[in-house]
Structure 1
Amino acid sequence: MTNEEIQQIFFQECDEGLASAEAGLMACRAGDHDGETINTIFRAVHSIKGGAGAFGFTALQSFTHHFETVLDLARSGDLALDQGVMPILLRAFDVLTDHVAAVRGQGDAPDDGEVLERLKAIGSGERPIPMADAAAMDVAPPPAASPGIDLSFDLAALIGGLDQGDADLVPDTGLAARPWRVRLVPGRGALHRGGEPLLLLRELIALGGAIVAVDTDAVPLITDFDPDGAYLGWTLTVPETVDRAVIEEVFEFVADDCLLEITRDDASVAPPANIVPIVPAAPKADVGNPSVAATPAPGGQSIRVDLDKLDRLVNLVGELVITQAMLTQRLQGCGQGAIQELSDLDHLTRELQDSAMAIRAQPVKSVFSRVPRIIRELETQTGKRVRLDVAGETTELDKTVIERIGDPLTHLIRNSVDHGIESPAERIAAGKDPEGVVRLAAEHRGGRILITVEDDGKGIDRERVYALAAERGIIAADARLSDEEIDNLIFAPGFSTATTVSNISGRGVGMDVVRRNVQALGGRITISSRPGHGSIFTLALPLTLAIVDGMIVSVGAETYVIPLTHIIESLRPLPGAVKPLGRDRHMLDVRGTYLPVQSVADKLGVTGGRTNPAEAVLIVVETEDHGQAVLMVDAILDQRQVVIKSLEANYRPVDGCAGATILGDGRVALIIDVESLVALDGDTPPMLLRA
């Protein structure tokens, strides 16, 4: 494994550690935490520190060292996580996030001076000093290339100890009367398998340790020297103030490839020159204290797979679905469509497709985890007080969709805080709690995922929105619009209610971008607002962008696919069920409710389609923006899974269509975008805007 590959694993572990640390910090902020919560935060920061030292990221290593010192005080009960400490810890976490981004080449190293001083002061026992105005501590702009990493070392440096460059990481506390004695003997093949003793020694010295002996007896003659062999052993002392668990964590990734002893150093004397033969150790256990059992392996196992390989797998599964459909159609044409093997193949293909898509599925927590920091920054910039409530973080969604909803979600959160939540004074005057609430939730519903952003603010000022839209020519000055239609005006290009342009809002691009990005995913966004009570933005997104269950229909000489997630029922109308409306429109009586009948042929410009609803097949569909409607087609041909191919990438966008697919007979069929099809050709009220 190359150094770059190992580094990528470290960065992935950083992401996981930051996510768990932030969840823990938010629990501490809310007062809903225990000792294990603080331990989780400590372990995450400590792991990042260990990796930073391994790759020579000295700024990140130094910052995490002081951060974990404060966390260690908290988990030992010597530091209360009160209102004086939590803002500093949250700000330290934000700076840590920026440090990690910097070493990944995604931005410049942050200015951590003020936060670092606060951490050092707390670590030395001083009372927490309130943070300065965060406006003076803005994150540095992105990005610069990360420097190269030099992990070279020489034998003399190992025997003689470590460079003085590590001295700034050693705490000022001297050795206690009964320090820990740590004996480390790497396995013979440790270096070949990526183990680096120098990095472990640096970790122990950063904890206040000191090398007291080096065993060189196993070093061979130069003629027998193996560059990948490990021949040295070390004995160190570590202050007794350091928890044993902290020392053990230094070795948690190499415990199976070294001989490790951790004992109390009662006599404080160096060990004999001859140390036990160098052999790979058994799974991590305390040789000096057999009663301490090895740490059990976790119940679940996982491996990291390159995303390109996963994408190729999903693409091949999609091609297999197409081939299976072709085979099915050919056998049916030969009168062999009912054979058991064909049914088994269909079942196995669907299982394989479901499994492949499940591998790509990720919890939306990876996106939701960014929101707490956004809220904290907005609180500082606006002077408002906001509490974030999150639900449904474990709801899973295709990785491609998750990667592309980050920006729309950020816009919605910023909009809710800037335009929705009132200032504390305004909320008190309105009889509300001075602290506003933003609720972020995700759930599966009807084959789609719904993500809602809700606030308890002042809601949409419809009179002002209407007036601004008329003033800017977005609507006619005498237009008569419903409340829902007025609410949707905020998605108009260039529309903004902000009185001044700031780095939060006012340029008229945010909400327009939200709708465009969501629609590009095949999703929809809706608004529900009550003046004085707040607003709810709902994003309805497809679970995957690769495969969909669809109903195959014919319209004239063309074949289309309608996604099953939109279909409520299909029927041939009974006599008298279809009523005329004007010269060329019809309504269908569906159990006492009249729904508009819309001809797919007319919508998409297809000739030869049926024109009389009484002779056609009518499909009742559900839309997010327009409620229920009825699509008129000539006939239903089949129902099956289809693989979605991008029209934009392979042809060009087509109004009313979300993509294309290859049918079993090799023909290309367009997949209908029910939402936009219903909105085509003037059937949508004039205020509902389309990207």
Structure 2
Amino acid sequence: MADMDEFRDMFFVECDELLEVLANGLRQMEQPGFDKETVHAVFRAVHSVKGGAAAFGLTTLVTFAHRFETVLDLVRSDKIEVTPLIMGLLHRCSDCLTDLVGTARSGQDPDEVKVDGLMTELDGLIDSDGEEDTAFEFTPITLDFGAPLSFDAPLGLDMPTAEPARAGLLVQMAPGFQLYRSGNDPMALLASLRKLGDCDVVMNDESVAPLEDWSPEQPSLAWEIGMPEGIDEAAIMSVFEFVEDCCMLSIRPAPAPEITPAENEPEPEVAAQHDPAPAEAVQTPPPPTTPDEASTAPAAGPRAAAQSDAGQAAPTIRVALDRVDRLMNMIGELVIKEAMLSQVIQTAGMHEQPDVIAGLDAIRQLASDIQESVMAIRAQPLKLVFQRMHRILREAADATGKPVRLITIGEQTEVDKTMIERLVEPLTHMIRNSVDHGLEDTVTRQRRGKPQEGTITLSAAHRSGRVQIEVSDDGGGINRAKVRQIAEDRGLVAPGANLSPAEIDQLLFLPGFSSKDEVSALSGRGVGLDVVRREIMGLGGRVMIQSTEGEGTTFSIALPLTLAVVEGMLIQLGDQTMVLPITAVQETLRPESSMLHGVGHGSQLLSNRGELIPIIDLCASFGVTQPEGGPDSSVLIVVETDSRKRAAFRVDAIFDQRQVVIKSLEQNYGRVPGVSAATILGDGKIALIIDPEEILLSMSNDQGRRMAAMASNG
């Protein structure tokens, strides 16, 4: 039972890969002049899902997949024209197939109403073409491992043990482990060959191991099929098109049959002059191979090149995520212990001994290399998340009646596995928000000279040690006057408050805010962008908005590369040690008096390379008492945030630059303004990790309030 569960899990993992191929193929079919091979790839994906599902008795999944592949077969044979209406149906069938795989995996009941409705539409296409789709039935195979092994039971095909008559082409087939695991049956392949013409089949079972030594990963059966004349190789290959990459296959002209001299008829003298052909020269089916051997053994026949290329794939291994998580936690503890060891060496006065310092540097470098390697193991491309957004977009477009297309850029950008799982909900809200709120209706777009079809762009890239994800639309932009009025009507902001455009945009993230007067399937309940901000901040990230009225809106998400370790600069504020993320640091300097300029009530600007940068005193921001010497003895750190805001942080001193382990502050204590997390230093003390973005945002809000107060007093 444990083995069957393992095979079932492997089937669902492969289903995920096949569904990804299906979704990609359907999107390519929407492009003008798509390659016909794309349709074949889509058909093979659905067929493979059906074959594997049949092996596990998943009736609903098999029946629906059979109808689906029947229509795809009509498409690839040019009996059904690919129109936007047909593509819409195929996309909905792909979504339904994904749902059926999900319900089969979780053991839940499928949505029969949805399945029956789509099958009715598929049957309509099949009937309209004049094709009769025979009902697909299957019987799961039951194996009795207690029964003696026998090859005499009827299998629906005559299996002669003698050499088949040689005529036409000779087909040699030795299925590999992958063929059986995907739910394909060699008997079905042989039956399909029989439909092409009267063929002779020989099964080679000489290499079959005794039952007690038998391994499912080393199948040993092979077949040799003699095909009659008049059948071309292309027709034979169409039978094997779904399994050619998981079996050893050879198709070649059949050798001429040996002519046996008649009894008492003397043999020609020339025959006596040649030695008889050795037994090894007789063509036999290829020996069974293990999966590893199959990837390196040369494949005979015309498919050899393709099989050789397929065998070059890098070997992989599946590891449970919790094991990688435990390894990542141990890496974090190793970083902490390294910092403690460095502190002990410093305290003991051994920091000037070359051997000690060299050994400590080697440990630090090794810990860094291990941490990067584990991060690479956990890193996964955003492709799977981006592909799910296509379905979200289609559902939102159908609900609103707006024609929309989604463009994805940077699908291969890698992020931590944990982030991928938690990004689905925020991106779902943002895509729906862009369709429902951002894009105008068709009439409005025409009036504004825009294409009827709206465009939403989902992109991702690595920037300055962080992951930047953007959701952009070409809609009407944010109507800030309307947003402000709604916020005032709902009591979310004081009437008459002096708000900058950026502050008005931030009102969209307030809980309970909604610009919809009526509740719909997509919006109107005041739940959406506040969830986005909460989830992204929980990942240590930031959400920003850029909008131009009449042109569109862009939501930007900035995320750290990992949730475990961050490279930081240790700084001193009074008697406190804090950490400033190195990704935000542009430069450090000890300014001359000529570089400092006073402005307003006690504020200062830094003149640096022709640019005036506001100075923020971190001691004042965090309420820390500044040591003697005052600002004149301080150091300035120029930082730039993800929203491209720049400032100069005034600190008392800079200690070191090192990797620190991130510990959640909200889970263990509570939220602290201007602080993103905490860490443990080498001396065992806790240091806060500064959030530069929030500090600059707080400064902007304070300046806005001061300017509003000055205006009201004036």
Aligned-partner SS, 1:109: coil
Match of 1:269 in 2: none
**Rounded Cα–Cα distance in structure 2 between residues aligned with 1:153 and 1:675:** 63
Partners of 1:579 and 1:648 lie apart in 2 by 38
* Superposed displacement of residue 421, structure 1: 1.0
Aligned to 2:671: 653
Match of 2:525 in 1: 507
Paired with 1:74 and 1:509, the residues of 2 have a C-alpha distance of: 42
Paired with 2:613 and 2:76, the residues of 1 have a C-alpha distance of 63
Q: CA deviation at 1:80?
A: 3.5
Asked if structure 1 preserves the Cα contact closer than 8 Å seen for 2:500 and 2:704, the reply is no
Which of 365, 368, 393 is the equivalent residue of 1:375? 393
Q: CA deviation at 1:497?
A: 0.5
Partner of 2:340: 326
* Distance change (3 Å), C-alpha of 1:532 and 1:75: same
**Structure 2 letter corresponding to 1:255:** C
Q: Does 1:462 align with 2:476?
A: no
Q: Residues 409 and 284 (structure 1 numbering): CA distance in 2 closer, same or farther, change over 3 Å?
A: closer
Is 1:518 equivalent to 2:529 in the alignment? no
CA-CA distance at 1:246 after TM superposition: 5.5
How far apart in 2 are the matches of 1:376 and 1:342? 56
Q: Please, what TM-score do these two structures have when normalized by structure 2?
A: 0.78
| Other-structure match for 1:255 | 247
Residue matched to 2:26: 25
CA distance in 2, matches of 1:457, 1:571: 44
Give CA deviations for 1:87-125 in whole Å, capped at 9, x if unaligned: 221121111111111112175413222322343454567
Which aligned pairs between 1:393-408 and structure 2 lie closer than 5 A? 393-408=411-426
Paired amino acid for 2:26: L
Uncovered stretches (5+) of structure 1, i.e. residues with no partner = 129-148, 163-177, 266-274
Q: 1:631 Cα shift?
A: 2.0
- The 3-state SS of whatever aligns with 1:630 is strand
SS at match of 1:683: helix
Secondary structure, in 3 states, of the residue corresponding to 1:637? strand
Q: Deviations over 1:349-382 (max 9, x none)?
A: 3222222211211111121111111111122111
- 1:629 to 2:630 alignment: no
Mapping for residues 69-218 of structure 1, pairs under 5 Å: 69-105=70-106, 108-110=109-111, 111-123=114-126, 126=129, 152-154=142-144, 159-161=153-155, 200=185, 204=189
What's the CA shift for 1:56?
A: 2.0
Give the aligned partner of residue 317 of structure 2: 303
The CA distance in 1 between the partners of 2:528 and 2:192, in whole Å, is: 48
Task: For 2:401 and 2:575, locate their aligned partners in 1 and report how far apart those are by CA, in whole Å.
Answer: 62
Is the contact made by 2:546 and 2:554 (CA closer than 8 Å) also made in structure 1?
yes
Corresponding residue of 1:366: 384
In 2, the alpha carbon distance for the partners of 1:450 and 1:482 equals 25
Q: 2:593 aligns with which of 575, 578, 591?
A: 575
Distance 1:254 1:16, change over 3 A: closer
Which amino acid counterpart does residue 683 of structure 1 have in structure 2?
Answer: D
Mapped to 2, the partners of 1:71 and 1:350 lie a distance apart of 51
The AA in structure 2 aligned to 1:306 is: A
Partner SS, residue 416 of structure 1: helix
Q: Is the CA contact 1:391–1:442 (under 8 Å) kept in the aligned structure 2?
A: yes
Say if 1:56 and 1:151, in contact at 8 Å, map to a contact too: no
Contact residue 590 and residue 636 of structure 2 kept, 8 A: yes
Name the SS of the counterpart of 1:641 in structure 2: strand
Determine the structure 2 residue equivalent to 1:4. 5
Q: Could you tell me which residue of structure 1 aligns to residue 62 of structure 2?
A: 61
Q: List per-residue Cα deviations over 1:643-668 (Å, max 9, x = no partner).
A: 21222344443332222222233332
CA contact (8 A) 2:665 2:678 kept: yes
Q: Percent identity?
A: 42
For residues 207-234 of structure 1, give each alpha carbon's deviation from its aligned partner in whole angstroms, at most 9, with x where no partner exists.
Answer: 798999897998999xx86495789888
The answer to whether the 8 A contact 1:574-1:614 is kept is no
Distance 1:231 1:302 in 2: 24
Q: Aligned partners of 1:286 and 1:631: how far apart in 2?
A: 64
Question: Which one-letter code corresponds to 1:248 in the other structure?
Answer: F
Find the structure with the greater CA-based Rg. Answer: 2
Deviations 1:27-56 (A, max 9, x none): 211225213322332232232222212222
Contact 1:571 1:619 in 2 (8 A): yes
Change (3 A) 1:487 1:328: same
Contact 1:322 1:662 in 2 (8 A): yes
Specify whether residues 249 and 58 from structure 1 end up closer, same or farther in structure 2 by C-alpha distance, changes over 3 A only: farther
Aligned: 1:335 with 2:351: yes
1:127 deviation in Å? 8.1
Q: Deviations over 1:112-141 (max 9, x none)?
A: 22322343454567189xxxxxxxxxxxxx
Give 2:288's aligned residue: 280
Whole-Å separation in 2 of the counterparts to 1:358 and 1:287? 33
Q: Distance in 1 between matches of 2:202 and 2:182?
A: 12
* Residues in 1 aligned to 2:425 and 2:22: alpha-carbon distance in whole angstroms: 23
Q: 3-state SS of the aligned residue for 1:159?
A: coil
How far apart are residue 563 of structure 1 and its match? Answer: 0.1
Q: Is the 8 A contact 1:53 1:202 kept in 2?
A: no
1:476 to 494, 511, 522: 494
Matches of 1:455 and 1:197, distance apart in 2: 41
Distance 1:653 1:543 in 2: 22
For normalisation by structure 1, the TM-score amounts to 0.80
1:552 CA displacement? 0.4
| Deviation, structure 1 residue 472 | 1.3
Partner deviation per Cα, 1:540-584 (whole Å, 9 max, x = no partner): 111111111110011122211100111122222211433444555
**Whole-angstrom distance in 2 between the partners of 1:609 and 1:255:** 76
- Contact 1:609–1:633 (CA under 8 A) maintained in structure 2: no
1:683 to 2:694 alignment: no
Between 437-446 and 597-606, the greater mean CA deviation after superposition:
597-606
Further displaced range: 36-45 or 234-243: 234-243
Q: Does residue 442 in structure 1 map to residue 460 in structure 2? A: yes
1:253-300: per-residue Cα shift (whole Å, max 9, x none)? Answer: 8637xxx787999xxxxxxxxx98996358499999845427120343
Q: What amino acid is aligned across from residue 36 of structure 1 in structure 2?
A: E
- Shift in alpha-carbon separation, 1:641–1:492, aligned structure 2, 3 A: same
Please list every run of 5 or more consecutive structure 2 residues that lacks an aligned counterpart in the other structure.
132-138, 157-166, 255-282, 707-714
Show CA shifts across 1:621-651 (max 9, x none). Answer: 2234582223222100001121212223444
- Residue pair 1:559, 1:669 contacting (<8 A) in 2 also: yes
Q: Report matched runs for 1:547-586 at 5 Å.
A: 547-581=565-599, 583-586=601-604
* Offset at residue 502 of structure 1 (A): 1.0
Give the 3 Å change call, closer, same or farther, for CA 247–318 of structure 1 in structure 2: farther
Letter in 2 for 1:97: T
Contact 1:385 1:435 (C-alpha < 8 Å) held by counterparts: yes
The answer (yes or no) to whether the contact 1:601–1:609 under 8 Å persists in 2 is no
Contact 2:220 2:288 in 1 (8 A): no
Q: Which residue of 1 aligns with 2:160?
A: none
User: Compared with structure 1, are the counterparts of its residues 504 and 203 closer, same or farther at alpha carbon in structure 2 (3 Å cutoff)?
Assistant: farther
Deviations 1:575-605 (A, max 9, x none): 1433444555443333454433333233333
Q: For residue 327 of structure 2, what is the amino acid of its counterpart? A: L
How far residue 680 of structure 1 moved from its aligned partner, in angstroms, is: 4.8
1:347 to 365, 374, 383: 365
The corresponding residue for 1:673 is 691
| Conserved 8 A contact 2:580-2:689 | yes
Aligned pair count reads 635
